[in-house]
Chains A and B, each alone.
Chain A
Amino acid sequence: NAGVTQTPKFRVLKTGQSMTLLCAQDMNHEYMYWYRQDPGMGLRLIHYSVGEGTTAKGEVPDGYNVSRLKKQNFLLGLESAAPSQTSVYFCASSYMAVTLSSGLTQYFGPGTRLLVL
């Protein structure tokens, strides 16, 4: 049981290049999320998905696109990378829950370090 995995672990891009970050989970979770973490700041939500084929914007969606064609995968795309997108990117997943007591705990992947030059 791998949990949440992210590919790649580290990447260097030049300004204007594109790339896709892959997140995969094997826990049959309905919900998936993409966050970015910058120095001195907590994680900020980029996009999220509440099910296969559905996505929604989070707090900082500009410059990113996402897709959820399969329940277990959530892709984050950068069409034209900018230095401001240098960050650590975390994917997370959780069950859908209908009661407060379930907590809706999010389980995180190991992160992807992205450097845009």
Chain B
Amino acid sequence: AQKITQTQPGMFVQEKEAVTLDCTYDTSDQSYGLFWYKQPSSGEMIFLIYQGSYDEQNATEGRYSLNFQKARKSANLVISASQLGDSAMYFCAMRESFTPHAGGTSYGKLTFGQGTILTVHP
């Protein structure tokens, strides 16, 4: 069974500084995908970034980057130059596997971690 662990219930960062949110995962699958979502106080789930298990380079999306260390089974989110609007709950999630080279399909079910509340101080 897949499992996602976010060990930081809460994190604080000063505005304009960088912050790393930790995520470790457990799977026996060879192919999988890792996602980060942001949930502001308004409640919606906002997709931030994705990393495939076969991707050799770390994913980046603007101020977000994913520090993917496959051997350690970690997929930490790095937010650079934090802004007050970054204050939110952040979820790490993993998608079940499929076999890309065989042209298989994935139903895309996600397993979520418990989340980390990030607070950005001015």
Contact = CB atoms under 8 A, between A and B. Distances in A.
A104 B37 CA distance: 14
A108 interface: yes
Contacts of A45: 109-111
Contacts of A71: none
Contact of A100 (B43, B52, B112): B52
Interface stretch (A11-19, A60-68, A78-86, A88-96): A88-96
Contacts of A107: 47
Interface in B1-17: 4
Contacts, number: 78
Given A41-B114, A44-B112, A103-B33, A97 B106 contact: yes
B108 A43 contact: no
Interface residues of B, number: 33
A51 to B, nearest CB: 10
A31 interface: yes
A90 B112 contact: no
A1 interface: no
B44 A97 contact: no
Interface of A: 31, 33, 40-45, 48, 50, 56, 58, 88, 90, 92, 94, 96-101, 103-111
19 contacts: A42-B4, A42-B91, A42-B93, A42-B112, A43-B93, A43-B112, A92-B45, A97-B105, A97-B108, A98-B100, A98-B103, A103-B33, A103-B50, A105-B50, A106-B47, A107-B47, A108-B37, A108-B46, A110-B44
